[in-house]
Amino acid sequence: MQTSTSRSPTWRTRPPRYVVLTLGDATLAVPQGEVLTLESMLDLEPDAEGLRVGWITLHGQRWPVYCPSASLEPLASLPEARRVCVMLAVGKELFGLACESVSTVDAEHLDFTALPVCMSMPEHPISALAQSEEDLLCITCAADLLRFASAARRAGDEYGERQLAPQRESE
């Protein structure tokens, strides 16, 4: 079976620990070092314009929060089960993902495999698969998720770059 070449450095470097994010029937795994903080969805300022479901304020700025489905398509409304917001960092950019649950797993407990070519799509953020004791995990990283959200925004959001840009608390 042919496999795709990974876009994400996480497939090659395999950080020692991953954060596992549950999004409905899907489980994503991102390197623990890319997770800035966990926030309660009770702190969400609802604002369902474009692809985001609202904003979380951190460090005096408002950052967008997204609520992807299990297939990573944006959900128009926030499911009641999504109670945790995982704030991810890409350089100085932050964004949140609304999740049902969050856990961690050591990379040594995962059996990694490259993403098969038939599952690989150029803009899709999944770079590899990994089997844990309980789940099949989709390996990704914050940069690939942000790139994916940006591509989806360009394809269907009339608000442009404003969606991912932070806003000062006073705005």
DSSP of 60-91? TEEEEEE-B-TTSPBPSS--TT--EEEEEEET
Q: Decide if pLDDT at 123 tops 60.
A: yes
Q: Which residues pair with 39 in a beta bridge?
A: 85
Task: Tell me if 69 sits within 8 A of 24, measured CB to CB.
Answer: yes
Q: Decide if pLDDT at 50 tops 80.
A: no
Query: Going from the N-terminus, what domains does the chain have, and what CATH number goes with each?
Result: 9-154 (2.40.50.180)
Give the count of alpha carbons within 13 A of 141, CB side only. 20
Mean residue pLDDT of the chain comes to 82
pLDDT tens per residue, range 9-27: 445 567 899 999 999 999 9
**Entry pTM:** 0.80
Q: Which residues pair with 35 in a beta bridge?
A: 88
More confident site: 103 or 3: 103
Residue-level length of the chain: 171
In the prediction, which pLDDT does 162 show?
A: 39
In the prediction, which pLDDT does 76 show?
A: 73
